[in-house]
Structure 1
Amino acid sequence: MPTVSTRRTSSPRQLTRVGDRLSFVYLERCTVHRDANAITAEDGEGVTHIPSATIGTLLLGPGTRITHQAMSVLGESGAGVVWVGEHGVRFYAGGRSLSRSATLVEAQAERWANRRQRLDVARAMYRMRFPDEDPAGCTRQQLLGMEGTRVKDCYRREAARVGLTWRGRHYVPGDFSSGDAANQGVTAAAQCLYGIAQAVIAALGCAPGLGFVHSGHELAFALDVADLYKTELGIPIAFDAAAEGPEDVGARTRRAVRDQVNAGGLLDRCVSDIKHLLLPDGASPGTGAEDTDRVTLQSDRGTDVESGRNYAHGVIW
């Protein structure tokens, strides 16, 4: 059997299709190492082997350590690695993206660069958040006004549901304790959703700074995506936590969001929602087009041409 250092690297065409992989594998409080072409997760209960080629993105939670050889086999297998908080509710750092293709990031850049398409994506995001509304034909000012009204109504509705007095949204950047219990919960829930969105964006290889609603920040797109789940998930959980009492409301909110994200499969849903927003009409998320390992060259006519060819002499390299 060859050693790790002499084993031949797998080629992209020998790897498991991204669509056939486990999308996310989450590990915490263990040491991640390599055994042949698998990674191992060792903790107090023993060693678990995970075939590296079946991993889409490895999420490393609190208490994890990973060896150089484990990172090597994950890189050979085309897996993404992201360092996160508990169950993905914080984003700390990310390695290479899951996809070898630039399909998603090119689609994002194209739709972002075109003002009309950028507004279309913003409308689609609003429609996903509030399916009983029809934002077709709305300007950005109208969208922002409708969104503001909806979110205010959500705050008042959730406060009434749990029996709290709501005095409005108050948040001072850098001063978490300045707000009351409900405001602290809303802030904590929002931070969790931002981390989840950023982890998924990193895994897909999209550009976090190219937002369709938010702008001017390196995480503008992450803020856009996180807002898709604000009124459905974040705000209700925040008010539930605040209703239990003002003590340690931030930590309780984060744990509740973590549990709900894990139980409801929000990470996979987030992947599907991003693909639905960015890919051309008629392209179905999961068709595998974004998984293709293919390099082309750009031409003056706006179409791609075959790479690996010398166009000065017409000779195939």
Structure 2
Amino acid sequence: MTTVSRKPASSPRELTRAADRASFIYLERCTIHRDGNAITAEDAEGTTHIPSATIGTLLLGPGTRITHQAMSVLGETGAGVVWTGEHGVRYYAAGRALSRSAALAEAQASRWANRRTRLDTARAMYQLRFPDEDPSGCTRQELLGREGRRVKDCYRAQAQRTGIPWHGRRYTPGDFASGDPVNQAITAAAQATYGIAHAVTAALGCSPALGFVHSGHELSFVLDIADLYKTQVGIPVAFDAAAASPEDVGARTRRALRDRIHELRLLDRIVTDIHHLLLPDHTTPAAHDDTDEVTLQTDRDLHVTAGINHDLESSW
């Protein structure tokens, strides 16, 4: 007897927009299954139903087990899934894009492939991070230098605000516990933000690999987007968590970050910022983003209807 739900997959119009979803949900020590188009989390205290289409990113902590059908519905609804350990967050899988349009992916590839527009986009990213500066005319080296100084200033300002002794950013990849509490909190906030940025990037149909600041990595664009909110959101939350207590600082940082993201409606902002960066003349999603429309390219860069035989067509 099949265990596959008889309820059909949701259409694009039925899915919750990425901007309207919960930023992330963290589960641990439970079994996750599927019930219709929802997932269920079962533990010693009972069973909780969670509508899968309302999840931006599902964080699976220690002690979790998830069924194939649960992963299937998460993929159908475009939710990101992250397996987490006790010492940080790693992003391993994403669902299909919520948008059925290739407009953002094509715009991203076009801007990335041209050296001038690639630099223009990097400058626009810098101005989104630091709107009080004008990066027009800056070289990449100048952008990197300015960014480095601003981040250092942010660390010092947050240390002074919270009263935490600050001895610089110290992080050993793969060894979360080697850092002091504030460095652990910064790492936890950064990794969680990468997961959220990856989920939104995938939901919009963009390529995670085609970055404008970062390069050479499968998540270059994800790192670009996550860094837009580092000094305003991630670093202040991390210092607040570390100042409150050194105990369980990673988990507390993630919970505080979740609350801050909800308060700022950050998912909505990420979607808007990506559209602004890749389609600066059209900063809102096209009305046909949720329809399955396939066209064919022509020699004159026109688009003609797909699904028919064009053997007798000669007008293009």
Partner of 1:239: 239
Is the 2:19–2:267 contact (alpha carbons within 8 Å) kept by the matching residues of 1?
A: no
User: 1:74–1:83: structure 2 CA closer, same or farther, 3 Å change rule?
Assistant: closer
1:278 aligned partner: 278
Contact residue 181 and residue 242 of structure 1 kept, 8 A: yes
Q: Secondary structure at the match of 2:97?
A: coil
The answer on whether the counterparts of 1:30 and 1:64 sit within 8 Å (CA) in structure 2 is yes
CA drift at 1:257: 1.5
**Stretch deviating more after TM superposition (178-187 or 192-201):** 178-187
The residue number in structure 2 matching 1:122 is: 122
CA drift at 1:289: 4.3
Q: Which amino acid counterpart does residue 139 of structure 1 have in structure 2?
A: T
Per the alignment, residue 207 of structure 1 pairs with: 207
Deviation at residue 42 of structure 1 after TM alignment: 6.9
Q: Please, which of 78, 81, 86 is the counterpart of residue 79 of structure 2?
A: 81
Partners of 1:181 and 1:246 within 8 A in 2: yes
In the alignment, what sits opposite 1:257? 257
The one-letter code matched in structure 2 to 1:80 is G
Answer whether contact 1:275 1:285 (CA < 8 A) is retained: yes
SS of 1:273's equivalent in the other structure is helix
What's the CA shift for 1:46? 6.7
Deviation for aligned residue 1:266: 2.1
Return the TM-score normalized by structure 2: 0.80
Query: Is the counterpart of residue 309 in structure 1 residue 308 in structure 2?
Result: yes
**Identity within the alignment, %:** 55
**Structure 2 vs 1, CA of residues 127 and 296 (structure 1 numbering), >3 Å: closer, same or farther?**
same
Tell me how far apart the structure 2 counterparts of residues 189 and 21 of structure 1 sit (CA, whole Å).
20
8 Å CA contact 1:98, 1:205 repeated in 2: yes
Instruction: Tell me how far 1:194 sits from its aligned partner.
Output: 0.9
Contact 1:23 1:57 survives alignment (8 Å)? no
Once the two structures are superposed, the pairs formed by residues 125-164 of structure 1 within 5 Å of their partners are 125-164=125-164
Deviations 1:218-271, CA, capped at 9 Å, x for gaps: 111111011011000111111122223434333332232233223333223222
Going from structure 1 to structure 2, the CA distance change for 1:177 and 1:81 (only over 3 Å counts) comes to closer
Letter in 2 for 1:251: A
- Contact 1:112–1:118 (CA under 8 A) maintained in structure 2: yes
State yes or no: 1:16 paired with 2:26. Answer: no
Displacement of 1:157: 0.7
Superimposed CA distance per residue, residues 183-225 of structure 1 (whole angstroms, 9 cap, x where no aligned partner): 2222221111111111111222211111010001111111101
1:282 Cα offset (Å): 2.6
Alpha-carbon separation, structure 2, partners of 1:16 and 1:85: 29
SS of 1:212's equivalent in the other structure is coil
Gaps of 5+ in 2: none
Name 1:297's counterpart in structure 2.
Answer: 296
For residues 93 and 153 of structure 2, the distance between their equivalents in structure 1, rounded to whole angstroms, comes to 35
**Aligned 8 A contact 1:201 1:208 in 2:** yes
Letter of the 2:91 partner, please give it.
F
2: CA distance, partners of 1:47 / 1:246:
31
Report the Cα distance in structure 2 between the residues aligned to 1:199 and 1:91, rounded to whole angstroms.
9
Equivalent residue letter for 2:281: G
For residues 310 and 49 of structure 1, what CA distance do their matches in structure 2 show?
Answer: 45
- Aligned residues of 1:61 and 1:85 also touching (Cα < 8 A): yes
Tell me whether 224-233 or 171-180 shows the greater mean CA deviation.
Answer: 171-180
Determine the structure 1 residue equivalent to 2:287.
288
Deviation of the 1:90 alpha carbon = 5.5
Shift of 1:150: 0.6
**1:21-46: per-residue Cα shift (whole Å, max 9, x none)?**
984266656755344xx546476677
Aligned residue pairs total 300
**What letter is aligned with 1:162?**
T
For 1:49 and 1:205, locate their aligned partners in 2 and report how far apart those are by CA, in whole Å. 24
- C-alpha displacement at 1:181, in angstroms? 2.5
TM-score (norm 1): 0.79
Contact 2:97 2:203 survives alignment (8 Å): yes
CA distance in 1, matches of 2:41, 2:284: 35
Decide whether the 8 Å contact of 2:18 with 2:271 is kept in 1: no
Whichever residue aligns with residue 234 of structure 1, its letter is: G
After superposition, the Cα gap between the structure-2 partners of 1:252 and 1:6, relative to the gap in structure 1 and judged at 3 Å, is: closer
State the alpha-carbon separation in 1 of the partners of residues 138 and 73 from structure 2. 49
